């Protein structure tokens, strides 16, 4: 039997009749405040589950279905979510520093206030994702689909966005200082008051983006 305990009180939140949670089907489960650090959760079904304030540090969530789940304020540092489905997931204020989201489906997910420092989103889909006010310095978005995503007021300094699709994306006062956007698609994107090297702004304009430079204070 697998027990999921509350991270502070130690109370049992879930008793699962099996020797692993990998591949388990737990849609709409309530695991609020639970702790599963380093757990093998590959392929688990947690659609629309309450996973708010959980600890998933170092957990293996490859191929997991977390669509519609609430992970607000959860700790995902160092977890592996490659190929996971987080469509419509609520990721507000998560700590996902160093977490892997390669090739994950993250469309319509919400990330306001999240820490994504050095996280990897290579080839992930973040279509219409709300990534406003996130902290993602040195994050890797190579080849990611960020079509119509909102990256306003976010810190992407030193991030790698090579060959990412940022068409129709919103970047208002986004920090891109030191970021790499080689081969990125910026058609119809809106860059207002972006903190970036002038060459990046010029390349954005040349690719069809709207660039509004604000006067210096």
29-72 confidence digits (pLDDT tens): 999 999 999 999 999 999 999 999 999 999 999 999 999 999 99
What pLDDT is stored for residue 5 in this prediction?
A: 83
Mean pLDDT for the stretch of residues 165-171: 95
Supply the mean pLDDT for the chain: 94
Q: What percent of the chain has pLDDT over 90?
A: 77
Mean pLDDT for the stretch of residues 160-177: 95
Alpha helices of 26-75 — where are they, by DSSP H?
none
> Can you say whether the dihedral through the CA atoms of 57, 32, 66, 124 is positive or negative?
negative
pLDDT over threshold 90, residue 28:
yes
User: Is this model's pTM higher than 0.85 or not?
Assistant: yes
What pLDDT is stored for residue 10 in this prediction?
A: 87
Instruction: Identify the CA nearest to 68 among candidates 108, 112, 34.
Output: 108
What pLDDT is stored for residue 54 in this prediction?
A: 97
b/e 89-124 (16+ beta carbons within 10 angstroms → b): bbbbbbbbbbbbbbbbbbbbbbbbebbbbbbbbbbb
Which residue's structure tokens are 């940022």? Answer: 166
Identify any residues that bridge with 69 across adjacent strands, giving them in sequence order. Answer: none
pLDDT digits over 95-106, tens only? 999 999 999 999
pLDDT over threshold 60, residue 217:
no
> Can you say whether the dihedral through the CA atoms of 98, 45, 53, 4 is positive or negative?
negative
* pLDDT band for position 128 (cuts 50, 70, 90): very high
Q: How far apart, in whole angstroms, are the C-alpha atoms of residue 192 and residue 172?
A: 5
What 3-state DSSP class applies to 200?
Answer: helix
């Amino acid at each position: 039997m697998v027990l999921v305990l509350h991270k502070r009180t130690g109370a049992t939140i879930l008793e699962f009749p099996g020797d692993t949670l990998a591949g388990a089907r737990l849609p709409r489960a309530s695991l609020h405040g639970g702790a599963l650090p380093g757990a093998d959760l590959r392929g688990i079904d947690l659609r629309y589950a309450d996973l708010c304030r959980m600890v998933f540090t170092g957990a293996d969530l490859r191929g997991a279905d977390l669509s519609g789940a609430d992970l607000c304020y959860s700790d995902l540092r160092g977890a592996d979510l490659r190929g996971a489905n987080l469509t419509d997931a609520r990721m507000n204020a998560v700590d996902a520093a160093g977490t892997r989201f390669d090739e994950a489906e993250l469309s319509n997910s919400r990330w306001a206030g999240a820490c994504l420092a050095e996280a990897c989103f290579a080839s992930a889909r973040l279509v219409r994702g709300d990534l406003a006010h996130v902290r993602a310095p040195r994050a890797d978005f190579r080849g990611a689909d960020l079509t119509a995503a909102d990256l306003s007021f976010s810190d992407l300094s030193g991030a790698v966005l090579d060959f990412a699709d940022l068409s129709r994306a919103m970047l208002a006062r986004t920090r891109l200082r030191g970021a790499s956007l080689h081969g990125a698609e910026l058609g119809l994107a809106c860059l207002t008051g972006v903190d970036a090297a002038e060459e990046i702004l010029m390349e954005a304009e040349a690719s069809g983006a709207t660039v509004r430079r604000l006067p210096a204070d």
